[in-house]
Structure 1
């Protein structure tokens, strides 16, 4: 997600170290110590403005949530949502999510969310797609055996590409939604992007893919 540069965003993040982790490399292997419990850890790669992660944290207080984004202005908006929610079970990482092994030890994460990732439609940019095989290798490392990726997008081409990528990697497609909002799925928490485009009638796709 690209947003307009926000004045004071960096200072805003720095003033809330209890929620914003500025040196995530130092937390590798110690996330449960930070949260102070042994609850499952779910991460979102690409936080957007925080509606999803703050909503999930409120809905599931027995799960620890971590949202990652490399854009200061974006993460500052996510921080606003977290502060407003008063959820204690969420942390934000100002970090490049291209290699999550820098921040998480093997099998330290229980579930991973990819919401409305950049589709990178040009073939020459295929390796930048977050469902490309090299990213899947990273996810497999930080997730447990039979760990899951929950992927949501409004881009049909990216969705079809991702289904193939998951399958070719040997993953199991547990559940697939070709029109999420016209389904009986009751645990959905919308991102800002999702809410905006679903109001325009845009179909939302979702899949739960599992490593074997």
Structure 2
């Protein structure tokens, strides 16, 4: 979905920068120092306006959460939400991440969330999908052995692709459903803005948790 331009965007980001990490690469290996505690660290890639990660941060104050968003105008909404909620266990940075090894050391993450990622529907763009097998291996390289990845999408084709990629990457599925709202999985309690809109319209939400 095309996002509208925001006037004085950089200035507004600076005014809402309490929880903004401006140089995330310098935090590699020291995220717990950034948070000031030794709690486990979880990452959402593509946080949108921040509803999901804010709900997580509120529900689990004993955990640390990082949200990354590539679009500055969208990230501003997440930063504004963080300013209002003032969660000490939440940090946000703005970037299009490719190699997580630039930002995290091996074992530094306890979990990763991928919510409603771009499906890149053309076959020639398969390697751009966030659940392409090499990307999954990259995620695992910075996670603890017991860490899990959670993925949600309303795109049935992307979900089928993801399941194949999980298996091709040699990973194990822990939870899976093609109708998250009808399941008993905890993840249905933590929704994105997009999920609220399309879930209420009756579209099924696919979900898988794996490691």
- Distance, in Å, in 2 between the alignment partners of 1:35 and 1:17 is 15
Q: Secondary structure at the match of 2:109?
A: coil
Q: Hey, what does 2:125 align to over in structure 1?
A: 125
User: Conserved in 1, the CA contact under 8 Å of 2:17 and 2:79?
Assistant: no
Deviations 1:47-69 (A, max 9, x none): 11000011110011011000001
- Distance, in Å, in 1 between the alignment partners of 2:184 and 2:71 is 34
- Distance, in Å, in 1 between the alignment partners of 2:186 and 2:24 is 33
- Distance, in Å, in 2 between the alignment partners of 1:5 and 1:171 is 40
Deviations 1:10-39 (A, max 9, x none): 222223443101111111111000100000
Q: Hey, what does 1:194 align to over in structure 2?
A: 195
- Distance, in Å, in 2 between the alignment partners of 1:106 and 1:13 is 30
Structure 2, unpaired ranges of 5+: none
How far has the Cα of 1:201 moved from its partner? 0.6
Q: Hey, what does 2:53 align to over in structure 1?
A: 53
Structure 1, unpaired ranges of 5+: none
- Distance, in Å, in 2 between the alignment partners of 1:76 and 1:185 is 30
Q: Secondary structure at the match of 1:207?
A: strand
Give the structure-2-normalised TM-score: 0.95
Instruction: Write out aligned runs for 1:1-212 (5 A).
Output: 2-187=2-187, 188-210=189-211
Q: Secondary structure at the match of 1:110?
A: strand
